[in-house]
Structure 1
């Protein structure tokens, strides 16, 4: 059985609904891969394919996204010897625990979930007679499944964005309720908000997000990468005019990848005047060089999905080495156990 007791357990889920982009890399993937190499941490990273079903009912998209995300993390150097990298659906104990937790979770707690309240408000704003129109039980019970993801592996820390803090608080509430009824079984997780994490701007100057359709895929091929970077919006200042790097999307992307010395050197060029075409070409060449080797590994993995499948299945088995014995304890606690 995998021994995780002496290490801090950190858990992160990645929803399988899109193609990883540079914003994902800077904000979540890069720090997670660095953490995967920390010998003092036991990371659990999973592809949240059951969560994906809440928003996406396109089977081909979920399957393709699973392939692309797994290939991305592996190509970028995830340490799968230290980190447990698995597919949520390969660990049936997660959904079993979600049901058990649902039996101690107050409906009122779920009524207060931000995503549910936002969906209800959207219906009310549209003048719908039924405030729950189109809202599935998947969306409504999402916080319980997320709690199961976290509590099953006794995660100490869960890195999340500010919009996910409530879900960690709910997981704590659910765990505390279970512990109160049945005894202390669950660790109360803590949300880790990384304030210093860079937020990358997209093609239109807004936060890079698939919901805005303004993303640059991490492993876009050279021609497409250059084309996308050339589309980034800039102002109409002439080449010789001094420019403000702190309000420039091109500079913000460069800054997320470059060294401090490189950033300061480019900042001076902005003050002296730099043509937007020149800056876009500079950014393309820099990003392309940065990801070139990883892109080659990614494309090789995409061509051989059986290699990715093998890694995920091995990760799933490692996850179940932790999950199975703990679920036996949970079943025993609630009275579901052999009679003799």
Structure 2
């Protein structure tokens, strides 16, 4: 049985881009009988940028609720908060820090992206890849789904595990990246990649009026209502194509090409599609957001299961280090 591990930062409510690009593909992987999935909320990692405790709690709840709403089976798999197992994660991180050369961390993309503004870089951001490695190696994960921009960090985790094993013996499983070339890049309302940092995202868990308002903000050109339009360059059409079936996409394409059909009409169709397509998920999400005790129960059950594996890994690690 393959162990697949995914970590999600507690950076806010997951949006349409997160759902289509990460959550649903990971849920699909978790549903295969031969896979054992570990899904954790990386709230320790989020501390590199989020300094508000209340906001961190709200974000953590929203991320957990979204994954359950999208079909992640917390009973079959492992579902936990990184912070509730922080003792194990940070202990293994220290051991790995003592095996990790400085140049490796200074070449990490998470650091290099901000290396021209060192006053903005905290030690947590610099050592981010080591904690990430500890998160993965703690549970002896075989595969980690990553985007191309995260492949370097996964390779670093593998290098750290290999270095530890060369020094102390074969204790840690070397993880492999699981890169799905078909994973979609979801456009935001302005046409760039959908992201909370760009404030161009669509939150499908919103109520009816705010959801419609966000969809109406999608950028479109000034082609007159009566004129034909190019669906392949329109953001609304691209988003609709990601959630609709082939017949619906073909019909909308013909509406664009024949003219007499405005972008406002297309946005209304996109709203209706998102409203109905994610109706069940929206209900489950709202249930867990309103029933904190039910969400907490799911997380605590998962944390108890994850703790058993973490304890076993650390028992073996401490033994080879001479700390048993």
| Residue 233 of structure 2 corresponds to residue 239 of structure 1 | no
SS of residue matched to 2:93: helix
Q: How many residues align?
A: 322
Distance 2:249 2:102 in 1: 51
**Matching of residues 1-340 of structure 1 within 5 Å:** 7-91=1-85, 92-121=87-116, 123=117, 132-273=118-259, 274-337=261-324
Cα deviation for residue 233 of structure 1 reads 0.9
Q: Which runs of 5+ in 1 are unaligned?
A: 1-6, 124-131
Distance 2:191 2:66 in 1: 25
Distance 2:23 2:209 in 1: 24
SS of residue matched to 1:237: coil
Distance 2:78 2:272 in 1: 34
- Does the aligned pair in 2 maintain the 1:39–1:82 contact within 8 Å? no
Cα-Cα RMSD = 1.3
Give CA deviations for 1:256-280 in whole Å, capped at 9, x if unaligned. Answer: 1112232223222222222111111
SS of residue matched to 1:314: helix
Q: Which runs of 5+ in 2 are unaligned?
A: none
Give CA deviations for 1:106-137 in whole Å, capped at 9, x if unaligned. Answer: 1221121122222222x3xxxxxxxx323211
SS of residue matched to 1:64: helix
SS of residue matched to 1:323: helix
Give CA deviations for 1:22-61 in whole Å, capped at 9, x if unaligned. Answer: 1111100111122221111111110000000011111121
- Does the aligned pair in 2 maintain the 1:110–1:143 contact within 8 Å? yes
Structure 2 length-normalised TM = 0.96
| Structure 1 runs of 4+ with >4 Å offset | none
